[in-house]
């Protein structure tokens, strides 16, 4: 039962945790392109700020992936429930 719940939770974590950053990255790129179109002289500064922002947004998806891998491969609940059931 713990394995099933862990796998479902890991799947939901990755599914939800990647959709939101993907939408945020799309919006950030669209806004950056609009800003560059309005002020082409500031393209270097806007691009640098865009890449820093995209890295921060992408870190959310990476954290969700790490949490899902912990749930699947290094689940802290396995030992607890094994000790409770006596196995």
Per-domain residue ranges of the chain: 2-85
- Looking at residue 26, its pLDDT comes to 94
Q: Which pTM does this prediction carry?
A: 0.70
Long-range contacts of residues 53-57, Cβ cutoff 8 Å, at least 24 apart: 53/28, 54/25, 54/28, 54/29, 57/21, 57/24, 57/25, 57/28
CB 18 within 8 A of CB 64: yes
Question: How far is Cα 25 from Cα 34, in angstroms, rounded to an integer?
Answer: 14
Report the pLDDT averaged over residues 60-64: 91
* DSSP code of residue 41: G
CATH 3.40.50.2300 for domain 2-85, yes or no, is no
- Looking at residue 73, its pLDDT comes to 85
pLDDT tens, position by position, 17-34:
889 999 999 999 999 999
């Amino acid at each position: 039962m713990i394995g099933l719940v862990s796998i479902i939770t890991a799947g939901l974590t990755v599914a939800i945790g990647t959709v939101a950053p993907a939408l945020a990255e799309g919006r950030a790129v669209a806004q950056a392109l609009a800003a560059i179109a309005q002020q082409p002289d500031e393209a270097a500064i806007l691009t640098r700020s865009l890449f820093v922002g995209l890295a921060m947004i992408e870190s959310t998806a990476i954290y969700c992936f790490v949490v899902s891998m912990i749930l699947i491969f290094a689940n802290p609940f396995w030992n607890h429930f094994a000790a409770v059931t006596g196995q």
